[in-house]
Structure 1
């Protein structure tokens, strides 16, 4: 291990739920570790859930490599890289070998392991395993939120949706506005459902073919009288009664929840069986898919709608408050002052 030390200014959760600023010293580098100067960090609602944990917040990082361990093979000093939810996987289990590495039982992930490696800091230390090369034409503001928000929607889209599919999206927010762009760039017929009629023009400008305001529907989405859906992505932050949208789904169609909520997910039992529908869970993208997501986004002009904040205690608290209140439009990105 390298004996060089690296000092990091970090913004951490605490038992009180207050964000605290601390200075932390990384003592050297293991062969597979990398020191990165952070240039941007996205903010995810998972960070809100972690506010009472003693860890460095942030898992949507972008930065410039400052030093590499002796065993690193894929990145070098000066590379611009991004990282997200995972820090490493075992690379030998059936999931890693089968291109499903996010499901590795030995994975190290944000909130569980490596509590000193978050992206709300000026210097981060990460393992090389889950660092991604950021395309040169992609801005930090676009790249950072793609590391979690982007990869959350990318994998279920490319694994389930075909260019000729009619794909519905419930909710336009941090996930939904990216899903619209990915699907339209792939050639899908994109249908957006929202309770906010003011988002119509925005959804259409992002690439939606149709927009339907569902606020005030008395029974279910069948009231809309629209052409049926092949796939439905749920990116809304609140749980929706599943039976509401079964009337607009084709037989053998697929529903894919993307957001996370407490409690149980309940579907209409008989209707689900008789229509042969699938309910598909999904975690973040595997490594190869995530790198291809960044390349696809750069090549096709996928952009993040983001609000920028300074990476200071004041800036972070302002961003968190806006996120918690549902007023962020649509991803918050923190920028270090130095």
Structure 2
């Protein structure tokens, strides 16, 4: 028995020696248990250096809604524009700059005479000569005077000073006008006023004087501070306050709408007839600004439009 064991040990040692061969009849090695078939490894794309260096974003840790945020996480409230204090004003020398609304042009009705930047209208030499020739033929007493320029558009290019509207009919005080205004006055007196007076007031005799309240004067309409320039400021207008007669009393221009006398009829007649000679006629029935006189002017309008009230 011991010999058999020795023999087995010798054979085992021989089997471990290099180049040793096992006997053909030796024990057959058993196969290992079948392992799961492994899929072939798929080659992975090589990562770029940039991608390897960029850290992936980490999900924010869940916060307890009841846990207040840290002081550094609380947003700082921003003030509203209206709550931002204005910068201290820098002291400047000289007049203050105008406010934006002051730079907006005013409408003509709100402009002063200086703001309108008007100019004097030139007159044709030929037209002026023709007009003065006709005045002379009617017997108007006048004299020429140098050009008037009172700035801001006030003035007359070729003014005349009228002392008698017609022969024997004085204009008091004498009036500085443009020739077309004096010519319209003479025609009105000759064609309408004198005939109406001879019919309505024959006992008063002839008209001796026209008492005027205003001729040339530099101002706006109705003497206002703002608005359109008056035709008086251009020599185009004259205001008649009353008529003096050789025998009777003066006939003052006043409201006579309900005056049923011949004097009332005379005033209403000459007021209506004025629109045949002047382009504007305003009488005491027009407004409060004309309750004591006739306003007569020769302003030119489109289509020869006339305003008579």
Instruction: Specify which structure has the higher proportion of strand.
Output: 1
RCO higher in structure (CA 8 A, sep ≥6): 1
Say which one has the larger Rg.
Answer: 2
State the TM bucket, normalised to the shorter chain. under 0.3
What TM-score do the two structures reach when normalised by structure 2? 0.19
